[in-house]
Amino acid sequence: MATFAQLYSPQAVLPMIAADLGVAPATAALSVSACTLGLAAAVIPWSMVADRVGRVPAMALGILAATLLGVAAPFAGDIALFLVVRLLEGIALGAVPAVALAYLSEEVDAGHAAAAAGSYVAGTTVGGLAGRLVAGPVADLTEWRAGLWGVAGLCAASAVLFLWLVPRARGFVPHRHLAQRGPGIAARLAVNLRSRVQLVLYAQAFLLMGGFVAVYNYLGFHLTAPPFVLPAWVVTLLFLAYLAGTLVSPWAGTLVSRHGPLPVLLASVGCSVFGLILMFVPLVPALLVGLVVFTAGFFGAHTVASGWAPSAARPDTRAQASSLYYLAYYGGSSVFGWALGWLFADAGWAVFVAAVIAMCAVAGVLATLTLRRAPGPRPRA
Give pLDDT, residue 101.
75
323 compared with 35, residue with greater pLDDT: 35
Note if the bond before 74 is cis, omega within 30 degrees: no
Lowest mean pLDDT among 10-19, 177-186, 241-250, 341-350: 177-186
How would DSSP label each residue in 7-20?
HHGGGGGHHHHHHH
Residue 184 CA to its chain's centroid (Å): 28
- The pTM of the full predicted model, rounded to 2 decimals, is 0.81
What separation in angstroms does the CA of 27 have from each of 44, 115, 149, 350?
A: 27, 38, 21, 21
The DSSP-derived string for 246-311 is HHHHHHHHHHHHHH-HHHHHHHHHHHHHHHHHHTTSSSHHHHHHHHHHHHHHHHHHHHHHHHHHHH
Spatial distance between the Cα atoms of 295 and 137, rounded to a whole number of angstroms: 22
For each of the domains in the chain, give its residue range(s) and CATH number, in order of start.
4-165+184-370 (1.20.1250.20)
Q: What is the pLDDT of residues 79-94, one digit of tens each?
A: 999 999 999 999 999 8
The 10s digit of each residue's pLDDT in 362-373 is 999 999 999 987
Alpha-helical segments (H) within the chain? 4-8, 14-21, 25-53, 55-72, 79-93, 95-107, 113-141, 144-165, 178-181, 185-193, 196-224, 232-237, 242-259, 261-278, 284-312, 318-347, 349-370
- Whether the Cβ atoms of residue 360 and residue 207 lie closer than 8 Å to each other: yes
Q: Does residue 1 carry a pLDDT above 80? A: yes
Split at pLDDT 50, 70, 90, the class of 68 is very high
How does pLDDT run across 22-56, given as a tens digit for each residue?
999 999 999 999 998 998 888 888 888 888 888 88
**Average pLDDT of the chain to the nearest whole number:** 88
Residue 120 vs residue 173, higher pLDDT: 120
| Interhelix angle 113-141/144-165, nearest 10 degrees | 150
Q: What is the pLDDT of residues 256-314, one digit of tens each?
A: 888 889 999 999 999 999 999 999 999 999 999 999 999 999 999 999 999 899 888 88
Residues 235 and 230: their CA atoms lie apart, in Å, by 7
CA–CA dist 214, 279 (Å, integer): 14
